[in-house]
Structures are given as structure tokens and as C-alpha cells.
Amino acid sequence: MIKEKIDLRSDTVTHPTEEMMEAIKNAKLGDDVFGDDPTVIELQEKAAKLLGKEASLFVSSGTMGNICGLVSQTNKGDEVILEKNSHIFLHEVASSAVIGGLQLRTFSGKNDYLLTPEMLDDLVRSPDVHYPISSLVTIENTHNMAGGKPWKITELNDIFSAAKKKNLKIHVDGARIFNAAIALGVPVSELVKGADSVMFCLSKGLACPIGSMIVGSQEFIDKALRTRKMLGGGMRQVGIIAAPGIVALDSMINRLADDHKNAQLLKKGLEEINGITTRDCETNILFTDISGLKITGKQFKADLAKHNIITSSRWDTIFRFVTHYGIEKEHIEYILETLHKLYG
């Protein structure tokens, strides 16, 4: 039995690498509210360049990045169009309503994630005095609840140009945008060419302990800087938490391919167990339905926990396994061996 806990609840459970810890120790610091922390400046410049945008801003979390993105591109009372299972709608404590004064208009994504130009036609409000003003579309790439689904380049370009034609801005919740880039084998900048703002996480798959980035035009970032300050996100010697971000962008992106391979290995093995089915998986998030085992989700979770395998369910019998830094092929083999012994 493997002694350490194999935690597949999320890629948010990753710990920083040795190199990150060294970078933290050696980080050159300044006061980031005064804009003179050299490590933060380096990280922000690197992030903007990588995504092909003018400027970038370090924020404490993906949630803060998303709300900065939304607030900085809308006016109170505007309507924002987004998928009904998107993180912003489901898991960000109604921040768009509370902080942004925004109304959210949801749609059911085609294949659980996609917004097509035709769908957008129906979602945008006409200029009737009764209606709020549609001003922003947000898309999630990869789409977490659709099983880490990456948007294809053509799907992205279609929606970017449709939104532009309608004078709508686009914010990309790209918490896992690098997983999408690796899965599609394209530079990340290709995935955000038509986006006005993008949030991506340094934590999660890239294994930083803290932090996310928002990127966009200089004008957008200037506004976002004020929004971040208003939210209490203006911090001082931020280089300490920005330093691992530089390591992440330099050396943690390509290894996401290993997480994707491990998710495939897990999917293949799980499908061999009678009573377990898996959903489509192209990146590192695998949804699994265990209802055919005829046990409760609670029981399944407890069985696995006894073998040091930690997972979480979305609905009673639908489990989410997320592969990430720290989960090796041997762990996946051990999980499959354990499940075969328990239910095979």
C-alpha cells in the first residue's frame, strides 16, 4: 500500500517545487502597491508576453482575477453572458452581483461548454428600454465542470469575432488555460487572441502555492489595478509569492502533458471495471460515474480513503478525479489495482 495520501480532489492541492521554494527564499522584494517590487514586475511582464497581451497584473486568486476582469469591463446593471456551470456563476459567491452590480445571463453550453455565434444571437439583449445592456461574455477554458474541456481554436475564433461584431467584450476564465494549450499543442497566445481579458492560475496545475494573473490591454490593467486595490488585493512585498510564478511559467507548463497522460491511463483502467463509466476527458479532469457499482458515493469515498486515495464527488455517484503535479504513473497504477481488488 502506498503510504502517502494520493489526493485527486483537485489540482489546487499541489505543493510548490524545490525550485519554487529556492526562488521564494531568494526573491528580490519591493513594495508592490508603489509598483516597485522587481519580482512582481518580472512575472507580470513574462505573463503578458506569453499570452501576447500588453500588460498583466498579479492577483491573489482566480476568484479575485475573475471579479477584477468583470468589474473592470462593465458598468453596474450590465448583463454578463456565461455558461450555466461556469465557475464564475456557480462558485464565486455571487461576487459579480455583490461587487460588480452585474446581472448574469446563463446558457447551457453545447457539449456542456461551448457558446456558438448562433447561441450568442439569442442571448444578447436588444436595445429595448426594459432590458439591461449586454456588455460582456465570459468563457471558461478549460471548462472545469465539462471535464476540463479545452475549446478548439476555431470555436474560440468564431465566438471572439461574433462578440466583437456585437460590441461585446470577452473575458476568459482560463484558470487552466495552459492545460488547453498543451492538449491542443498550440501556443497559449493563440487561445486568447480575440479576448479582452484573461485570468489564469499559477496555483492548480502549475503548482504555485498562491496566485493568479490577469492579462489584457494596458487600459484594462490600469482599471483592474484600481479594482484589485478596492478589493484589498494591493499587497506589499509580493515578490515572495510572485517568485514561484516565474518558475512556473518557465518550467511547469510542458509537464502538464504528464497529467493528461495519467488522466487517460486512469480513464482506461476505470472503464475496465464493471459498474464504473467515465466521461470524455482531454486534459486533467476526469468525471466518473460509479452508480453501476450499486454502492453509495459515501461508501465509495470511504473505501478509497482506507487506501489513502482521496477523491470528491460532485453529485452522489459522480466523482471527479484530477491529475496534477505530484501524481505519478505509479499512483494511477496503484489506484487501479486497489479499485480492481475492491470492485473488479
CB of residue 141 to ligand PLP, shortest distance in Å: 9
Scan residues 184-223 and list those touching ligand PLP (CB under 6 A).
201, 203, 212
In the three-class reduction of DSSP (H, G, I as helix; E, B as strand; rest coil), residue 12 is classed as: helix
- Among the candidate windows 56-64, 227-235, 297-305, 315-323, which touches ligand PLP by CB under 6 A? 56-64
CA pair distance 335, 54, nearest whole angstrom: 44
CB of residue 341 to ligand PLP, shortest distance in Å: 32
Q: Does 138 engage in binding with ligand PLP (CB under 6 A)?
A: no
Phi-psi region of 142 (alpha: psi -120 to 50; beta: other; left: phi over 0): beta
Sole residue written with cell 508592490? 32
Bridging pattern class, strands 212-216 and 6-7: unpaired
Q: Does 297 engage in binding with ligand PLP (CB under 6 A)?
A: no
CA pair distance 46, 22, nearest whole angstrom: 19
Helices (H), ranges, the chain? 18-26, 38-51, 62-71, 87-91, 95-98, 117-123, 153-165, 177-184, 188-191, 218-230, 239-251, 256-271, 297-306, 329-343
CB of residue 285 to ligand PLP, shortest distance in Å: 9
Q: Which of 63, 72, 73, 138 forms a contact with ligand PLP (CB under 6 A)?
A: 63
Q: Does 284 engage in binding with ligand PLP (CB under 6 A)?
A: no
CB of residue 121 to ligand PLP, shortest distance in Å: 26
Q: Which of 61, 74, 138, 284 forms a contact with ligand PLP (CB under 6 A)?
A: 61
CA pair distance 342, 344, nearest whole angstrom: 6
Q: Does 140 engage in binding with ligand PLP (CB under 6 A)?
A: yes
CB of residue 145 to ligand PLP, shortest distance in Å: 8
Chain Cα centroid distance, residue 337: 30
> What interhelical angle do 62-71 and 218-230 show, nearest 10?
120
Which position's Cβ is nearest ligand PLP?
A: 62
Q: Does 56 engage in binding with ligand PLP (CB under 6 A)?
A: no
Q: Are 321 and 8 in contact (CB under 8 A)?
A: yes
Q: Does 175 engage in binding with ligand PLP (CB under 6 A)?
A: yes
CB of residue 68 to ligand PLP, shortest distance in Å: 12
Q: Does 62 engage in binding with ligand PLP (CB under 6 A)?
A: yes
Residues that bind ligand PLP (CB under 6 A): 12, 61-63, 66, 87, 140, 144, 173, 175, 201, 203, 212
